[in-house]
Structure 1
């Protein structure tokens, strides 16, 4: 059985394109999971110009997100989103595998 795909929301794709345009070069959002944070795992976000050979590439509306092969199982079925609220604007992962998360939403447990 194939893993449920990782998706990129329209708002995340729009924001990735906006940042690339402002920087004057195409950029991709790298999303990774590593051990740490107050709940066991944490999300890492970075903007990069190129991916690695083993990255999963998630595309939407001309924008791309990259997920390394170690992080893919932790993110199966997730949506990478960009949220703008009164006090913050940030990329977020809506992860159905996360059993709990910390108050700030950066770390989670499975």
Structure 2
């Protein structure tokens, strides 16, 4: 599925990028604890919209007697940016960063 940035609002984009920082998925409740700049209702609504739009997947974790819903991005961050900006732009950016990091 080819996704475009125009599919996302600014708040959806910010929440999605924050979710990329949470490896392995995160519950809505833990997301709000980790990122208090997002209000509870806003975070819950935006995460649900990102699932509906196909950016996030929901899995169940059974750490206790109750299952918890874990949310995580469907695509890797590289694939996300490649779809958004094009593979050539991402490739050039990655190569530039690697050159800058290896040049002392």
TM-score range, shorter chain: under 0.3
Structure possessing the higher radius of gyration over alpha carbons: 2
Q: Whose helix proportion is higher, 1 or 2?
A: 2
Q: Relative contact order (alpha carbons < 8 A, sep ≥ 6): 1 or 2 greater?
A: 1
Question: Greater strand percent: which structure?
Answer: 1
